[in-house]
Amino acid sequence: MIQSTNEEASAWRRKVSDFVGYGTVAVTIGILFFFLVLPVSVIMARAFFNNGEFTFRYFPLLFSNELLMGSIWNSVLIGIVATIFTTILSFPLALINARFDFKGKALLSGLLLVPMVMPPFVGAIGIMRFFARRGSVNLTLMDMGWIDTPIDWLGPDNMFWAVVILEVLHLYPIMYLNLTAALANVDPSVEEMATTLGVPKWKQYRDIVWPLARPGYFAGAIIVFIWALTDLGTPLLVGYHETIPVQIFNMITDVNENPVGYALVFLVIVMTVSFFVISKKALGGKKYEMMAKGHVSNEKKHPSWWGYPLIYGLVGGTAFIALLPHLAVLITAISDKWFMTPLPEQYTMEHFKQVFGTDLAFNGIKNSFFLAGLSTLVDLVLGLLIAYVIVRKLVPFTGALDGLVMIPLALPGIVLAFGYVVTYSDTILDPLHNPVPLLVIAYAIRRLPYMVRSATAGLQQMSSSLEEASTTFGASRFHTLRKITVPLVMANLIAGALLCFSYAMLDVSDSLILAMKERFYPLTKAIYVLFLEQGTGELVASALGIIGMAILIVCIMGSSLVLGKKMGELFRS
């Protein structure tokens, strides 16, 4: 009798496991199909079909358009140059973090991560104020007698570099996190042995350190490249409109009259997916693994007497320069009577009061809190279930599920937003009438990989024996998940949720494209509209940007404290 009862209980647990596993897979596939595969498929179909007939005529029109071809080249060049510069900037910083221990390391390392949460979209406001023809920089240089006439820093010839610099200052932390994690896994004894054998230091980095750190580098590089290639907010505010994202943004309203937009978006999909696949191939070439993986020494060297000023100068200087655009936004937000002087004559908090006294700005904050909170809740539930299925292998094809969930990292937000407008116009989800459902879905889809990565990291550290003991004593799979699994991985869930929430709060592409009515404007759309207003619009937009950045700083610093060095795993593609 007891044996029969145990067999029935075991059979019931298997059924519950199958239900959780296959049910999660079915829901995930359904969501990704309707809000990832379908929009992309519609774009691809409309790029090749006209009134039901197959055609290639949109592509010759695209390739013969000098503006669009120039925009494609500019965007690719922005991605390449930004990736090169982030590499040059991040490698020495990662090397310092992985190899040396020094006073204030935790503080400086935390400051290096802050620019990651401060989007260049907001920093562009400060850059334009400081580097205008009659801005702070030119006035200071003229007062010092270094120049006689203002330099056109943001003129047509320099806008490209303004965008690149803002992208680099925003994206280098992603490269830094990946390289730091990769370098930390390189056993120092291998380099010590090479030094003993007389191998020059530069050759050690080329033949030992680089091959071992290469997977981490490419994981960060592809994210940086695609992010810089498809960023909409920065070139839009700087005024550099000859880029792919801005051209797509301008085509949203007349895409039916000008179907070349479908061909352009299709080309962006092909480019980003191709670069993503190329990066994977690069990782799949030669593989170098540590024989003692998992037993790398944690002992860090202390810098020499001359190394301290070099390290403090490099790390502190990088953090300071990266924060300058946002410091400029802060000064703009509290400025009063600022005309033809390097810095404001007076300071005021009036613009922050105007944020809460202006319907557009205050609604932007409320809408973003609601949308980001709801999307984070979706990510939290779905991300935990997906991670649980993957780690506990509740289905036989967990690798395919993991790859499916990571697809949003390879598709730019502007592509998905464009796809949603095209696919769901004149339906119940039409963003022209009410963009809330699509905004929540868009935010959730694009941040789901971060939650899955964070939850996966926590579940991998947790022993499955605790869950097995619970089910052995008769607890259901759901009860075990709720009472044992979730509390044990709560730190990872909180960290992932903070990251998803913070990025959704200042999302640019989805917010600018999908929010078409003022009462639905999220934070970033409100900032953009205020920035275009005459008078105090720029000042109120700066104050609103500072409030948004403050929210993000709290979220990301909390996430960093919880995850520590494992935070870089969230940005692996």
Q: What is the pLDDT of residue 526?
A: 92
Q: Is residue 293 assigned to a domain? A: no
Query: Do 146 and 25 belong together in one domain?
Result: no
- Number of structural domains (the chain) is 2
CATH assignment at residue 92: 1.10.3720.10
Query: Do 101 and 234 belong together in one domain?
Result: yes
Q: In whole angstroms, what is the distance from residue 388 CA to residue 375 CA?
A: 20
Euclidean distance between the first and the last CA atom of the chain, given in angstroms as a whole number: 52
Tokens 């459902």 map to which residue?
Answer: 437
Instruction: Please state, rounded to an integer, the average pLDDT across all residues of the chain.
Output: 81
The winner for highest mean pLDDT among 16-30, 188-202, 204-218, 496-510 is: 496-510
Q: What is the pLDDT of residue 570?
A: 53
Query: Do 407 and 521 belong together in one domain?
Result: yes
Query: Do 336 and 353 belong together in one domain?
Result: no
CA-nearest of 178, 158, 157 to 166 is 158
Asked if the model's pLDDT at residue 396 lies above 70, the reply is yes
pLDDT confidence bin for 295, thresholds 50/70/90:
very low
Counting residues of the chain whose pLDDT is more than 70, the rounded percentage is 83
Question: Going by C-beta distance under 8 Å and a sequence separation of 6 or more, which residues neighbour residue 105?
Answer: 97
In DSSP terms, which residues pair with 53 in a beta bridge?
50
Q: Which two tokens stand for residue 266?
A: 């299709």
Query: Do 326 and 385 belong together in one domain?
Result: no
Q: Which two tokens stand for residue 120?
A: 């260049």
Q: What is the pLDDT of residue 296?
A: 46
- Counted residue by residue, the chain has a size of 573
Q: Is residue 299 assigned to a domain? A: no
User: For residue 175, how many other CB atoms are within 10 A of its CB?
Assistant: 30
Asked if the model's pLDDT at residue 485 lies above 80, the reply is no
Q: Is residue 332 assigned to a domain? A: yes
pLDDT confidence bin for 97, thresholds 50/70/90:
confident
Asked if the model's pLDDT at residue 185 lies above 50, the reply is yes
pLDDT digit string, tens, across residues 247-287? 998 888 776 667 888 889 999 988 888 887 777 676 555 55
Q: In whole angstroms, what is the distance from residue 61 CA to residue 57 CA?
A: 7
CA-nearest of 183, 69, 39 to 513 is 39
Query: Do 259 and 119 belong together in one domain?
Result: yes
Q: Is residue 463 assigned to a domain? A: yes
Name the residue type at position 47.
A
Q: What is the pTM of this model?
A: 0.82
Q: Is residue 471 assigned to a domain? A: yes
Identify the domain containing residue 34 by its residue range. Answer: 1-55+349-573
Q: In whole angstroms, what is the distance from residue 338 CA to residue 46 CA?
A: 50
Query: Do 123 and 231 belong together in one domain?
Result: yes
Query: Do 370 and 476 belong together in one domain?
Result: yes
pLDDT digit string, tens, across residues 429-448? 999 889 999 999 999 999 89
The residue-averaged pLDDT of 83-109 equals: 82
Tokens 């009798």 map to which residue?
Answer: 1
Query: Do 204 and 228 belong together in one domain?
Result: yes
Query: Do 110 and 13 belong together in one domain?
Result: no
The better pLDDT of the pair 495, 154 is held by 154
**Residue 522 CA to its chain's centroid (Å):** 18
The answer to whether 165 touches 126, Cβ cutoff 8 Å, is no
Query: Do 33 and 106 belong together in one domain?
Result: no
The better pLDDT of the pair 89, 279 is held by 89
